[in-house]
Amino acid sequence: MKHLLSIGFLLSALLSNSVFAEMKQSQLRQLEKSIVEKEWPACVTPRNYYDQVYCAAKVYNLLDNALNAAYIDVRKKLTKEQKNALKKVQITWLHERDDECAKLENGRVIMNLGCSKSRTVESLYYINQINENVSDFSLLLAEYKAKK
């Protein structure tokens, strides 16, 4: 009986993590969409392959600018120690994003804009969460740091 309870608890935990992950993905999609709708509404639903490429670059730039603005804004609310901790996590995030989303091939840099966009939205999500919930800084930063 104890074994069944343990399995039930484990399944419940796995399902709740799955639901949480799906909920967060929905929030990330909505965050990106809200930024794109405001700045480049035509890029919400590109019409053809050319528009998809054009919009991917525009959207990445919008998201990167939003991330930079949010990062500057959140730092105003943090203590010196918190600023240093966030900076370390952000530098690590930059290296991981670059390693995951770009590569050098035959002397050319190949950048996966879809990867870069999704990683930037994810980072923006955490920066926004910290900005809105500074009292939960340590918890949010730990979650952000653990996100790969």
What is the longest distance spanned by two Cα atoms in the chain?
62
Write the pLDDT tens digit of every residue in 70-93. 999 999 999 999 999 999 999 999
Residue 19 confidence (pLDDT) = 41
The angle subtended at Cα 63 by Cα 74 and Cα 27, nearest 5°, is: 80
Over residues 98-108, mean pLDDT: 92
Question: What percent of the chain shows pLDDT beyond 90?
Answer: 63
Domain membership of residue 125 as a residue range: 2-146
Report the number of distinct structural domains present in the chain. Answer: 1
List the one residue out of 84, 103, 82, 95 whose CA is nearest residue 123. 95
Dist. CA 31–CA 63, nearest whole Å:
10
Kindly tell me the number of DSSP H helices and DSSP E strands found in the chain: 5, 2
Helix (H) or strand (E) segment spanning residue 135: none
Dist. CA 26–CA 32, nearest whole Å:
10
Dist. CA 54–CA 58, nearest whole Å:
6
Average pLDDT, the chain: 85
Residue 24 confidence (pLDDT) = 76
The number of residues in the chain equals 148
Q: How many CA atoms lie within 13 A of 74 on its CB side?
A: 29
Dist. CA 11–CA 2, nearest whole Å:
14
Residue 81 confidence (pLDDT) = 97
Q: Is the pLDDT of residue 12 over 60?
A: no
